[in-house]
Amino acid sequence: MNGFWENVVVETVARYSVVILCSFVFLAIFEIVTSYKNWEEIKKGNLAVAMATGGKIIGIAIIFRYSIEHNDTLLQSIGWGTLGFLLLLSGYFIFEFLTPTIKIDEEIGKGNMAVGLLSLIISLGLSFVIGASISVG
């Protein structure tokens, strides 16, 4: 049975499945912390929410990319990926805190595409920094 788990195809499918599951969980957490409903707003055509959510999805994927590359076991990858997500989530709150004249959450919910784009870019930038830190650890 050990040979089964060491097969590259089995490992790939396992890691892929775990990342998809973690992504759903992490996006559900983002849904809880935002004042708007991501998927309802996207369904209505709110491009700002789509950009912000897309940035979060890509950010999560980038974090897991580094986590998978630099960890031997699936459990280690999940652990580092989860830590990376928590850092990405904290970045969302820091972004809101550092812009007291703009209510980021409200502006994205209203469809402000400039704020949605900035949110996407911040998620991407932070995910590369988080990923680089994971690869050092």
Summarize pLDDT for 11-53 with one digit per residue, the tens: 889 899 999 999 999 999 999 999 999 999 999 999 999 999 9
Average pLDDT of the chain, as a whole number: 92
Angle ∠(104,62,97) on CA atoms, nearest 5 = 20
Higher pLDDT, 120 or 70: 120
pLDDT of residue 70: 87
Q: Where do the domains of the chain lie?
A: 2-136
CA torsion angle for 83, 79, 67, 52 (degrees, to 10)? -40
Distance CA 13, CA 78 (A): 14
What pTM did the predictor assign?
0.89
Distance CA 63, CA 83 (A): 9
